Amino acid sequence: MKTLFETSGTLSPAGSRSHICFTVFLPESVDFMAVNFSYTPKILSDPARAELLRQEGEARYFNDPRFPNNGIRDTGVLTNLLTLSFDDARGFRGACHRHPSEQHLFLGKDSASPGLLPGIIPAGLFRVTMSVHAVLTETCEYKISIFQGDS
């Protein structure tokens, strides 16, 4: 397995609602690519901060007095959400909009992970887009590694 690309970094809540793109040059076409993606923490475990964010959200979304939330509160776990999508030199290669904070994806000539579009990855610029839907924790560490391998 040859490492084609590797990056890591730290996000804060101010990074929410942004797309971060990494553009990688592939000197020759690739038949199979594995992508490891992880971020941590997933869950906002500080109860005081979670309650604050819930109250801010309720004030924002139930801002029309004709439609109150009737005291019904969403008390589910609050989480960070980062997702990946891919574009090769010819166009879109799919997106993995899902919640696990550790994902092992593959993109191959004949098959690909759900969400991705199978096919050879042509030589040229290959773009990874990390969509930062929400960072709720004070910091969130992410890591992306891409390997060229045999299917």
Partner 1 sequence: MDRDWAPFELHTHTIHSDGAFSVDELFDRARACGYRGIALTDHNTSSALPEALAAAERTGVALLPGMEWTTFFGHVLLWGDRYFDWRAAGPGDLAEALRPVRSHGSIVGAAHPFRPGNPFCTGCYWEYDTDWTDIDYIEVWSGLDPSRQPFNLRALALWKNLLNQGFRIRALSGRDWHRDSGGEARAAASFLSLPACAATRLPSETSRLAMDALKEGRVAVSCGPVPELTINKESSGVVIQVRVRGDIGWGLKISELTDACLRIDSNLGCLSESSDPIKGIYMVVDRPLSESLRWVNAELRGRISGDPEGEEQLIAFCNPEFI
* Contact footprint for partner 1 (CB under 8 A): 16-17, 19, 44, 53-54, 57-58, 60-62, 64, 66-70, 72, 74, 76, 78, 81, 83, 85, 92, 94-99, 112, 114-117, 129, 131, 133-134, 136
Beta bridge partners of 25: 125
Q: How far is the CB of 127 from partner 1 (least distance, A)?
A: 11
How much is the CA Rg of the chain, to the nearest whole Å? 19
Closest to partner 1 by CB, 48 or 72: 72
CA gap 149, 151 in Å, rounded:
6
Tokens of 61: 């979304």
Closest to partner 1 by CB, 6 or 111: 111
Q: How far is the CB of 144 from partner 1 (least distance, A)?
A: 17
Beta bridge partners of 22: 128
Q: How far is the CB of 38 from partner 1 (least distance, A)?
A: 17
Residue 80 makes CB contacts below 8 A (sequence gap 6+) with 39, 41, 42, 43, 44, 101, 134, 135, 136, 137, 140
Closest to partner 1 by CB, 39 or 83: 83
Closest to partner 1 by CB, 25 or 62: 62
